[in-house]
Copies of this chain bind each other. A is one copy, B any other.
Amino acid sequence: MAAKILIIEDEIAVREMLTFTLKNNGFETFEAGNSEEALNIVSKNNINLILLDWMLPGKAGIDIARSLRASIETKELPIIMLTAKSEESDKIMGLESGADDYITKPFSPKELMARIKALLRRSAPQTDMEVVIFGSINLNPMTHKVKDGDKNIILGPTEFNLLHFFMTHPERVYSRAQLLDFVWGTNVYVEERTVDVHILRLRKSLESETSKYIQTVRGAGYRLSK
């Protein structure tokens, strides 16, 4: 699922630009113009990362960073601060008060994305990295290993992703088109029949008993179910 990013910025134009860039890159965005809004949004949503304008009126920026760092709940929340100029003192103060990274305006969307992704990668290992278990299947995204009972299962990348998706979304039927969207990703253009082939290979790789969990639902798609 898409990471949730909160943009704290008082200038509407900049805020909109950021929102737009982030949405475009598949993130879910929230916007706040001041501390109050910001903390409110953080408390109500499961924000994954914050983009914080350092140049908020008063000392708002620094205050927000500090209060987030003070609370147990938000202690680990990654913060990227946006600074207008690359003044050494600002950087130092920013990092000191809790930002994990900073980026100076003007910056390219590309650079912003790279930093956000890097930070999310670093700080959010457990989002999609949980071990998943379904019946006798045990899938560990961290080590990229799959076991079916005692037996180690060797899967190609696509089979691995497919199984991971099914295991994190069991019981529900997905059409081939949906599987392409969710497992292959949007903007990938392959034939729907290709899904069949990967289902076949996934079934072959699993123990014969277990492979029955990968069910064909005629006219609808496939499902992981007992």
Residues of A near any B CB (own CB < 8 A): 16, 20-21, 23-24, 88, 91-92, 95-96, 108-111, 114-115, 117-118, 121, 142-145, 156-157, 171-173, 177-178, 181, 186-189, 217-220, 223, 225
Contacts and interface: CB of A to CB of B under 8 A. Distances in A.
Nearest to A178: B121
19 contacts: A20-B95, A20-B96, A21-B92, A23-B95, A24-B91, A88-B109, A92-B109, A114-B188, A114-B189, A115-B187, A118-B186, A121-B178, A142-B172, A143-B171, A143-B172, A144-B220, A144-B223, A145-B171, A157-B218
A225 B143 contact: yes
A102 to B, nearest CB: 10
Copies assembled? 2
A165 B178 CA distance: 24
A219 B177 CA distance: 23
A117 B21 CA distance: 24
Contacts of A20: 92, 95-96
A187 B122 CA distance: 13
A88 B108 CA distance: 10
A218 B144 CA distance: 10
A189 B111 contact: yes
A118 B172 contact: no
A91 B110 CA distance: 13
A149 to B, nearest CB: 19
Given A95-B20, A110-B189, A117-B177, A219 B157 contact: yes
